[in-house]
Amino acid sequence: MSMRISDLGATTAALRRLTLHMASLERARTDLGTGKRIRRPSDDIGGASRVMSLRSTVTANQQAQRNVDDALMWVNLTDTVLQDVVSRLHRAKELAVAGANATTAADGIAAEVAALRDDFVELANTTHLGRGLFAGHRAGDAVANVAGTWTYLGDAGDVTRRISETETVTVNVTADDVFGFTSGRDLFTALDDLEARLLAGDTAAVSSSIDDIDAALDDALESLSRLGGAGERLDAARSRLSGDLLTIQENLSSLEDVDLAQAVVQLEMQQAAYEAALAALRSLDLSTLASFMR
C-alpha cells in the first residue's frame, strides 16, 4: 500500500516522537541527578523488593551490633571486678597462710581480713547504670548481712543480649555463684570465721580456712572463665556482624544506586537522540512543494 502522508499526521507524529525522546532524556537526567536507580517500587519490582528486605536485615544487624556493644560493656566491667576479686582472694589466702603459721595473736592480720571482707561486699555490690552487676534481675544490693547471716539478695535472672536472629548471650554472673552461696559456704561467712579464728589464735582452725578460700578462688575463676567464653562469642559476633553489614550494604548499593559511568553514557545517548529528533522536525518544516512553485 502506498502511504499517504498528511501535514497534520506528519507534525503530530514528529511531535510525539519528540515527546518520547524528551521523556527518555528526562529519565536519564533524573537517574544521574538522584543517583538512585529505583525511586519507586514500579521502577523495578524485584529490585525494590530485595532492597526492602535487605533494609530489614540491615536494621536487625545494626541493632544486634548495638546489643553486642552493650553486652561487651557488661562483660568487660564484670571481668574487671572479678579480676579484683581474684587478686584479693590471693591476698586473703596469703593472710590465712601467715595466720596459720603465726605464733602470736594475729590482731593485725585479722584486721586486714576484715577490711578484705568489706572490699568483697563492696565488689559484690558493684553497680552499672544503677543496677547491681551481680544481683540478677533484682534492684539494690546483691549481698548483705541480714540479722547476722550473709545473704544473697538477688535472683538467678540471666541478663541476656541478642546477637543474631537465633542466638542470645548471657552476660552476667550472680554473686550467688561467684561468692559460693550456691555451694553452701559463702566467702563472707568464711572470712568472718577466719577473722574470729585469727583473733582467737586458733592456728589449726585458721588452716582449715585456707581450704575455704581455695574453694572461693575456684568459684571466682569458674565465673571468670564463663564470662571469658561469653566475651569470645561476642567478639566473634561483632566481627561477623560488621562483615555481614558491609556485604549487605554493597548489595544494597548495587541494587538501588545508579552506575555513574553507565548513567552518563545513557544521558549522552538520549541527548543525541533528542537532538536528532529536533533536526528531523526542522527538515519537516522546510520542505513543501510551495517553495518550488512560481
The contact set with another protein (CB under 8 A) reads: 3-13, 16, 39-43, 45, 48-49, 51-53, 55-56, 59-60, 62-63, 66-67, 70, 129-131, 135-139, 155, 157, 159-162, 165-166, 168, 288-290, 293
Instruction: Compare residues 204 and 290 and give the one whose CB is closer to another protein.
Output: 290
User: Which residue, chain included where needed, has cell 565465673?
Assistant: 223
Instruction: Compare residues 219 and 256 and give the one whose CB is closer to another protein.
Output: 256
Cβ 69 vs Cβ 173: under 8 Å? no
> Cβ 22 to another protein, closest distance in Å?
15
Q: Measured between alpha carbons, how far is 224 from 240 in angstroms, rounded to an integer? A: 24
Instruction: Compare residues 129 and 261 and give the one whose CB is closer to another protein.
Output: 129
> Cβ 163 to another protein, closest distance in Å?
11
> Cβ 259 to another protein, closest distance in Å?
21
> Cβ 34 to another protein, closest distance in Å?
11
> Cβ 13 to another protein, closest distance in Å?
5
Which helix or strand (DSSP H or E) is residue 30 part of?
helix 7-34
From residue 37, give the alpha-carbon distance in Å to each of 28, 48, 75, 254: 10, 10, 44, 9
Q: Residue 284, CB half-sphere, CA atoms under 13 Å: how many?
A: 18
- b/e sequence 116-134, b meaning 16+ C-beta within 10 Å: bbeebbebbbbeeeeebbb
> Cβ 68 to another protein, closest distance in Å?
11
User: DSSP E strands: which ranges in the chain?
Assistant: 127-128, 131-132, 143-146, 149-152, 160-162, 168-170
From residue 183, give the alpha-carbon distance in Å to each of 177, 186, 250: 8, 8, 53
Instruction: Compare residues 21 and 197 and give the one whose CB is closer to another protein.
Output: 21
Give ∠ CA 22-25-26 in degrees, rounded to 5: 85
- Contacting residues for 294 by C-beta, under 8 A, at least 6 apart: none
Instruction: Compare residues 9 and 243 and give the one whose CB is closer to another protein.
Output: 9
Instruction: Compare residues 32 and 51 and give the one whose CB is closer to another protein.
Output: 51
